[in-house]
Amino acid sequence: MIERERLVLIGHPVAHSLSPIMQNAALDAAGIALRYEALDIEPKRLAETLEKLSSGSVAGNITIPHKRSALEMMRPISALAAAVGTVNTFWSDDNGHLAADNTDVAGFEFLTIETVGETPSNCRIAVLGAGGAAAAVLAAVSGWEGCTATVHGRTAESAAALSRRFSGFSIALAMSDAQLGEADIVVNATPVGLRDDSQPISIALIAPHAAVVDLAYGSFETAWVRAARENGHRASDGIPMLVRQGSLAFRRWFGVDADEEAMWAAILNATGRTRHRSGSPLAR
């Protein structure tokens, strides 16, 4: 097992994060005498913070709003992180550098499978947002057989820029485009709904058969997910993604598997939630 001196989450703000709860449960299950701590770091202090952390055997996660800027401050980075353009997981390597990877892509894929009951294929995916989270979604979709994606950004320029990076299977459209109603899976990759009951788009715009996947999460399910389920859609927020990306990060940090069941139990106990799984694959 790899030994670490410190384990941190870097973001701004971070008080809402459930990562400390689940990672500390994983640490306890593995018998590792460390605590996972959340550091609220403003953007202007990110470089200074990473520089200080690089002097020890540290590891951790990067979250909003630092995932993109941290990419330029860490080396080496994985090919996947470079392709996505963001990092969310880092650790001190043998050369005393902060290495980084992106476990959000695999986390999103797991979330989608939990929601729709299978790895999607020959599906139309509508992605709301054009930032780093949306890029992670498209990186996952690129590995799904026969799937295409529409990118619905807040601005035409941001959607077009992201779509060009994944031009083999995606196109950019307006947030209110009618093609939202043709999607088999609609993904919210914006921060809308993270801190209040705002919804990225009306559920009425989504086809009755479509699944709804929300990367946002909180102590309770997002309002968008609740509305979707009330209207008969298979739907999930970002908790399954949070757990899976955290589990993969744990392996990066320590070289051993995390106890995902312990992580799930800690999250569900802290929030009073239940775990939703779909047993109904997408109809085609």
> What average pLDDT does this structure show over 6-30?
96
Residue 282 lies in a domain: no
Residue 113 lies in a domain: yes
Residue 44 annotated to the active site: no
User: Rounded to two decimals, what is the model's pTM?
Assistant: 0.94
**pLDDT tens digits, 192-208:** 998 899 999 999 999 99
Confidence tier at 282 by pLDDT (50, 70, 90) = low
For residue 284, the model assigns a pLDDT of 41
For residue 219, the model assigns a pLDDT of 85
- Regarding whether 75 and 90 lie in a shared domain, the answer is yes
For residue 193, CA distances in Å to 13, 90, 149, 160, 215 come to: 15, 27, 22, 24, 10
Q: For residues 162 and 172, what is the distance between their CA atoms, to the nearest angstrom?
A: 8
**pLDDT tens digits, 105-139:** 999 999 999 999 999 999 999 999 999 999 999 99
Q: For residues 53 and 100, what is the distance between their CA atoms, to the nearest angstrom?
A: 14
Residue 217 lies in a domain: yes
- Regarding whether 254 and 229 lie in a shared domain, the answer is no
Domain that holds residue 140: 105-239
Confidence tier at 278 by pLDDT (50, 70, 90) = low
Residue 278 lies in a domain: no
3-state secondary structure of 150: strand
φ/ψ of 69, rounded to 5, equals -65, -35
Q: For residues 159 and 217, what is the distance between their CA atoms, to the nearest angstrom?
A: 23
Q: Is the pLDDT of residue 97 over 50?
A: yes
- Regarding whether 147 and 96 lie in a shared domain, the answer is no
- Regarding whether 57 and 139 lie in a shared domain, the answer is no
CATH number, residue 18: 3.40.50.10860
DSSP bridge partners of 40: 11
**pLDDT tens digits, 212-253:** 999 999 888 999 999 999 999 999 999 999 999 999 999 999
- Regarding whether 120 and 190 lie in a shared domain, the answer is yes
Residue 280 lies in a domain: no
> What average pLDDT does this structure show over 154-173?
95
Confidence tier at 176 by pLDDT (50, 70, 90) = confident
Taking alpha carbons only, the member of 74, 42, 45 closest to residue 60 is 74
Q: How many CB atoms lie within 10 A of CB 176?
A: 10
Q: For residues 200 and 211, what is the distance between their CA atoms, to the nearest angstrom?
A: 15
Number of domains in the chain: 2
- Regarding whether 227 and 151 lie in a shared domain, the answer is yes
- Regarding whether 194 and 109 lie in a shared domain, the answer is yes
For residue 262, CA distances in Å to 23, 29, 228, 278 come to: 9, 7, 29, 21
Q: For residues 93 and 253, what is the distance between their CA atoms, to the nearest angstrom?
A: 10
- Secondary structure tally for the chain: helices H, strands E: 9, 11
> What average pLDDT does this structure show over 40-47?
98
CATH number, residue 219: 3.40.50.720
Catalytic residue among 66, 67, 124, 244: 67
Give the neighbor-by-neighbor strand order of the sheet with 98-101. 36-40, 6-11, 58-62, 89-92, 98-101
Secondary structure letter of residue 281 according to DSSP? P
**pLDDT tens digits, 48-93:** 999 999 888 999 999 999 999 999 999 999 999 999 999 999 999 9
- Regarding whether 79 and 10 lie in a shared domain, the answer is yes
Q: Beta strand 185-188 with 58-62: parallel, antiparallel or unpaired?
A: unpaired
- Regarding whether 76 and 36 lie in a shared domain, the answer is yes
Residue 281 lies in a domain: no
Residue 279 lies in a domain: no
Q: How many CB atoms lie within 10 A of CB 121?
A: 11
Residue 276 lies in a domain: no
Q: Beta strand 58-62 with 89-92: parallel, antiparallel or unpaired?
A: antiparallel
For residue 236, CA distances in Å to 47, 218, 228 come to: 35, 12, 9
Q: How many CB atoms lie within 10 A of CB 187?
A: 29
